[in-house]
Amino acid sequence: MSLRELRLKRGLTQQQLGNKVGMTQGRIADFEAGRRSVGNMTLDSALAICDALRVSNPRKLLEDSSPKENNAE
């Protein structure tokens, strides 16, 4: 599930999530739009976002941002 999907599922705006985790709304927007890689955020930031979104497994944030393998041959 993407960061955006998780945020919307919790009923938060980008601004509200940013306030909870100490980031700007623009930084959250950059992560959601793929302008910044979720995989490159600091551990502290990832854990803060997981706490704010009530996600127990931080890998959920990374699942949607990892490259998909093309197995169709």
What are the tens digits of pLDDT across the range 10-53?
A: 999 999 999 999 999 999 999 999 999 888 888 889 899 999 99
pTM above 0.85?
no
pLDDT for residue 10:
96
Model confidence at 71: pLDDT above 80: no
Largest CA distance in the chain: 46
Domain that holds residue 11: 3-57
For residue 69, being part of any structural domain is answered with: no
For residue 32, being part of any structural domain is answered with: yes
Model confidence at 72: pLDDT above 50: no
Q: What tokens does 27 get?
A: 């930084």
For residue 67, being part of any structural domain is answered with: no
For residue 9, being part of any structural domain is answered with: yes
pLDDT for residue 66:
45
pLDDT for residue 50:
93
CATH number, position 40: 1.10.260.40
Number of domains in the chain: 1
Contact (Cβ atoms closer than 8 angstroms) between residue 10 and residue 49: no
Contact (Cβ atoms closer than 8 angstroms) between residue 24 and residue 18: yes
For residue 51, being part of any structural domain is answered with: yes
